[in-house]
Amino acid sequence: MISEPVKDFIARSYQLVSASSPRVPLQGSDNVDSLFFFNKLLQYYSGTALMITVPKEINYNLSIGQQFVTFGDPTYVPTPDVTEGRLANLQNAWLLLDGVTYPLLEISRNVFYSSYKYFPLQGLPRFAIIQNQVDLTQMEIYPSPSQVFELIIYAKFQLGWMTQNADMSLIPQYCHRWLMFALAKDLAFFKGRSEAWTPKLQKELDDAEKDIIACSAINLTIQPEHDSYLNGSWRVRAGI
């Protein structure tokens, strides 16, 4: 697979709004500013999981009594439990013990905290509650585990900050064309070239974005009615 450094990708994107002098290299603060806008664009789109069209599967050992798991960048202090980046979009989560899988039900924070429950409860975890923070995503596990489980997350994670010499292969190839137009639009406005952004370029960007959205995974999970599970009645029925 042929790729290119970020600085070359930015230069190609800049050419879209520099038609009069496409071969003139970026000068002065252009390199620094363009890299800043490039990373801001990545953060904006990967934060909503649009940029990351393919989820990752992450394994993490859940300790006895552990109630929270944090997801964030490895440079964050204190270091998150999972350092793949901020969790942007959860597809599935389940536990594994002795070859048996136990799916976790994702419920909203509002539903969880407005339901009756016994907080010191330990046993087989059944629920995952996602709480988004500024630089971190926190997953609350309920009930907390009574033994060590392997937690498996299938999700999309926010991309980290990239340098000029970073490899563009970190971003899927089919995202490059759309990202090139998206970055050119930001550069046109932030570098005083707004007149260079034409309706024709906007149409190309819109068409490319539709293709990227079509590549994104859609979660078609049917969630059963499980509000009553929070009060522990499911444990009685299951004999736990």
Judge contact between 135 and 72, C-beta under 8 A.
Answer: yes
- What are the tens digits of pLDDT across the range 108-141? 999 998 888 888 889 999 999 999 888 899 999 9
Nearest Cα to Cα of residue 221 among 149, 128, 99, 138? 128
- What are the tens digits of pLDDT across the range 194-212? 888 999 999 999 999 888 8
pLDDT band at 20 (very low <50, low <70, confident <90, very high): low
Residue 155: the pLDDT is 92
Mean pLDDT computed over every residue of the chain:
84
Residue 174: the pLDDT is 85
User: Within 13 Å, how many C-alpha atoms sit on residue 167's CB side?
Assistant: 7
- What are the tens digits of pLDDT across the range 153-184? 999 998 888 998 999 987 888 889 999 999 99
pTM: 0.77
How far is the C-alpha of 170 from the C-alpha of 159, rounded, in Å? 9
Judge contact between 154 and 55, C-beta under 8 A.
Answer: yes
**pLDDT value at 38 more than 60:** yes
Q: Please report the DSSP string for 123-171 in residue order.
A: ES--EEEEEE-SSEEEEEEESEESS-EEEEEEEEE------TTSBGGGS
How far is the C-alpha of 112 from the C-alpha of 129, rounded, in Å? 7
Which neighbouring-strand residues pair with 157? 87
- What are the tens digits of pLDDT across the range 56-89? 999 999 999 999 999 998 888 899 999 998 998 8
The structure tokens listed for 172 are: 């899927």
Tokens 């024709």 — which residue? Answer: 200
Contact residues for 233 (Cβ-Cβ < 8 A; gap 6+): none
Judge contact between 231 and 117, C-beta under 8 A.
Answer: yes
Sequence ranges of the domains in the chain? 6-51+159-215, 56-156
- If 0-12 CB within 10 Å is exposed, 13-18 middle and 19+ buried, where does residue 161 land? middle
How far is the C-alpha of 217 from the C-alpha of 226, rounded, in Å? 25
Nearest Cα to Cα of residue 131 among 188, 222, 70, 214? 70
